[in-house]
Amino acid sequence: AKEMDQCRYAFFEDQMLDINRRRLKLETALRRDISNNALRIAYQPLIDFTSSSIIGVEALCRWECSEFGIISPEEFIPIAEDMGMIDELGSWVMNQAMKDFADWSALLKSPAYLSINASPQQFRADSFSDYLNHARLQFNVSPEHIQIEITESVLLDHAPATTRQIRELRQAGIRIAIDDFGTGYSSLSYLKRFPISALKIDKSFVQHAANDPTDLAIIRAIMAIAIQMDVSVIAEGVETQAELDLLIREAVHCGQGFFYSEPLYKEELVEFIRGFEQH
């Protein structure tokens, strides 16, 4: 039995070594590809359910690594954060997305906004709002056409730089959306302290609401807060007609999901808008 244990232990050790090796290789490749601007952005349309119009798009970072293939942002964003490279990655996304803005937004009948994800660490650096304004001016994107998506952890950070920058962005007319709302710390007091424009309902709630009364209750609670505070709501992960119907029943009017469109590269987004604006 002891030999078996040793054998199992050696196996486990091998696996750990493999995991560490993969991680190290990913770090090196990510560092290289960020510097070489080899990442891409996919844009997912945000839809107003009632008017069937595009109200915005969310920029989602994509990485195809030459060694390991397509790596999910769920994996590489935390790596970039750990390596202290999220500022560089985030700045690249911001710049590229603003550069792309005119190419798709000009095709829309009514103005839409560009929604960009930001990590907590980007706010700790004092220069986030300066950088954003710089990119905005360079590519001539007005503030009301920008939304920044932050998670609850940003608002619970209590860093003076964070508070100041969020206020600055709002004063400039930029929207602030809380991403993954309800999945985090559920301390609602920050909603009083920060001028929030929108709450995003995480896809986990949308996908389980039909079968799980708790998830439905959470969606209803989010709607109650949103109505009281006069902020808009965007649902994530709308995949089916049934989910769409449920959301509309719960007075959720906007959302994104595979039911309408997957995240699309710019050329595909342009095609999607052309088709969508036809009917």
Choose the one of ligand C2E, Ca ion, none that binds residue 239, judging by a C-beta under 5 to 8 angstroms depending on kind. ligand C2E
Strands 113-117 and 53-65: parallel
**Residue 61's binding partner out of Ca ion, ligand C2E, none, with CB under 5 to 8 Å set by partner kind:** ligand C2E
Contact 126, 157 (CB under 8 A): no
Examine residue 256 and tell whether it contacts ligand C2E (CB under 6 A): yes
Nearest Cα neighbor of 73 from 222, 64, 110 is 64
How many residues at the interface with ligand C2E, by CB under 6 A? 23
In terms of Cα–Cα distance, which of 132, 70, 27, 108 is closest to 263? Answer: 70
Nearer to ligand C2E, 18 or 212 (CB): 212
241 binds ligand C2E (CB under 6 A): no
> Which residue's CB is nearer to ligand C2E, number 106 or number 243?
243
62 near 39, Cβ under 8 Å?
Answer: yes
Residue 61 binds ligand C2E, judged by CB under 6 A: yes
The least distance separating Ca ion from the CB of residue 155, rounded to whole angstroms, comes to 14
Residue 65 carries which side chain, given as an amino acid letter?
A: C
> Based on CB atoms, which residue is closest to Ca ion, 91 or 115?
115
SS (H, E, C) 189-242: CHHHHCCCCEEEECHHHHHHCCCCHHHHHHHHHHHHHHHHHCCEEEECCCCCHH
Residue 12 engages ligand C2E in binding (rule: CB under 6 A): no
Residue 255 touches ligand C2E, criterion: CB under 6 A: no
215 binds Ca ion, rule: CB under 5 A: no
Residues 72-111 that bind ligand C2E (CB under 6 A): 72-74, 77, 90, 93
Nearer to ligand C2E by Cβ, of 14 and 245: the residue is 245
**Site track 97-126 with Ca ion (rule: CB under 5 A), x = hit:** --------------------x---------
**The token pair that represents 43 in the structure block:** 């844009």
Does residue number 180 form part of the binding site for ligand C2E (CB under 6 A)?
A: yes
152: left (phi over 0), alpha (psi -120 to 50) or beta: alpha
Among positions 45, 56, 182, 263, the unique one binding ligand C2E when judged by CB under 6 A: 263
